[in-house]
């Protein structure tokens, strides 16, 4: 089976290729607008907005894993979310059809549910609060409409919560780095629960779908349980690093005010800052999701979330 990973130069794609590169069952190509630091020999430089190049590169492919996305909190202009995430989906589907490919695994996001929802599952209300979540939902709608006209296709959609792990430089890494520095400021009371996905498990679930879910249209939340509170993350980090982590609590109202101040400063300076109102809201929000469908599918996660945290902290901070 020949698999094309679109957007495979990033964090998830690199780990997926690492996990499967020695398989005798699969052959891979990576299509990305950026060169892969780890797998340049199988990487082809192309953009999801270039349908002609996609169509050429997907010749002979049996399955596509679509990871490419605009996902940062501070993408500018915001139209890029919709160009890459939505039009990129349309281009991918049309390039697949031109090559007779009918299997797709797409990584969407739990951002489609919005913030502070009560453990939503795959059939819960869709209410994204930002352009990233809105664009991911629109991409899913494109897929739904496509499947209605192509019922023989095999489409699997994964809605992961925030993914962390060795080598990632996203929000969880920034949080762990702040905690490990001993200069951590807790905004709010820290009792808000955070659903997390460890990269080793996320990649294993994609592998499971490649091998086991070969027909139909399915949507899966992906979350590693149990959910941890922000306080739990501080405690686990301190335990893994063998150090007491002092924390100072800042009321939410003051924290969000500071976030808006940073938004204004970023606009004035025309620079991206590490703190923003969106990041404060996400930090303090309850982000808890139901992944019982994925966990009852036959998939067995190879790592606990605590083990994932220990492995990440050991790799990043040497403990």
Pairing of β 248-250 and β 163-164: unpaired
Cβ atoms of 110 and 287 within 8 Å: the answer is: yes
CB atoms within 10 A of CB 18: 12
Among 279, 281, 272, 256, which Cα is nearest to 76's? 272
CB neighbours of residue 97 within 10 Å:
15
Please enumerate in sequence order all residues whose Cβ is within 8 A of that of 199, keeping only pairs 6 or more positions apart, or say none: 11, 12, 15, 163, 164, 165, 166, 168, 308
Strands 193-198 and 224-229 turn out to be antiparallel
Contact 31, 54 (CB under 8 A): yes
Chain position carrying tokens 């060169």: 35
The token pair at 52 is 């002609």
Tell me whether strands 163-164 and 63-66 are parallel, antiparallel or unpaired. unpaired
Report the alpha-carbon distance of residue 207 to residue 65 in Å, rounded.
10
| Tokens matching residue 265 | 């400063």
Q: What is d(CA 163, CA 318) in angstroms, rounded to the nearest whole number? A: 21
Tell me which of 39, 132, 198, 222 is the catalytic residue: 132
Q: What are phi and psi of 35, to 5 degrees?
A: -65, 145
DSSP state of 287: B
Catalytic residue at 39?
no
Which are the catalytic amino acids? Answer: 132
């Amino acid at each position: 089976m020949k698999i094309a990973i679109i957007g495979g130069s990033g964090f998830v794609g690199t780990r997926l290729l690492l996990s499967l590169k020695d398989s005798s069952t699969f052959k891979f190509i990576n299509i990305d607008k950026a060169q892969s630091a780890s797998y340049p020999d199988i990487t082809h430089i192309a953009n999801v907005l270039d349908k002609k190049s996609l169509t050429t590169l997907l010749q002979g492919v049996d399955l596509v894993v679509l990871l490419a996305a605009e996902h940062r909190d501070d993408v500018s202009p915001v139209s890029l979310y919709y160009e890459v995430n939505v039009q990129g989906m349309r281009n991918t589907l049309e390039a697949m059809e031109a090559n007779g490919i009918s299997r797709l695994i797409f990584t969407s996001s739990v951002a489609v549910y919005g913030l502070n929802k009560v453990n939503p599952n795959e059939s819960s209300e869709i209410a994204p609060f930002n352009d990233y979540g809105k664009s991911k939902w629109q991409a899913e709608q494109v897929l739904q409409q496509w499947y209605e006209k192509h019922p023989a296709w095999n489409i699997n959609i994964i809605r992961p919560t925030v993914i962390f792990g060795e080598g990632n430089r996203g929000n969880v890494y920034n949080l762990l780095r702040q905690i490990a520095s001993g200069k951590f400021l807790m905004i709010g009371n820290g009792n808000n629960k955070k659903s997390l996905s460890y990269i080793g498990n996320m990649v294993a679930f994609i592998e499971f779908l490649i091998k086991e879910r070969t027909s139909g249209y399915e949507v899966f939340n992906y979350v590693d349980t149990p959910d941890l509170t922000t306080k739990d993350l501080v405690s686990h980090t301190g335990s893994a690093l063998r150090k007491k982590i002092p924390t100072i609590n800042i009321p939410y109202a003051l924290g969000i005010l500071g976030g808006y101040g940073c938004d204004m400063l970023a606009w004035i300076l025309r620079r991206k800052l590490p703190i923003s109102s969106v990041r404060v809201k996400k930090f303090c929000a309850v982000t808890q999701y139901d992944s019982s469908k994925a966990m009852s599918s036959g998939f067995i996660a190879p790592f606990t979330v605590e083990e994932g945290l220990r492995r990440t902290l050991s790799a990043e901070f040497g403990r």
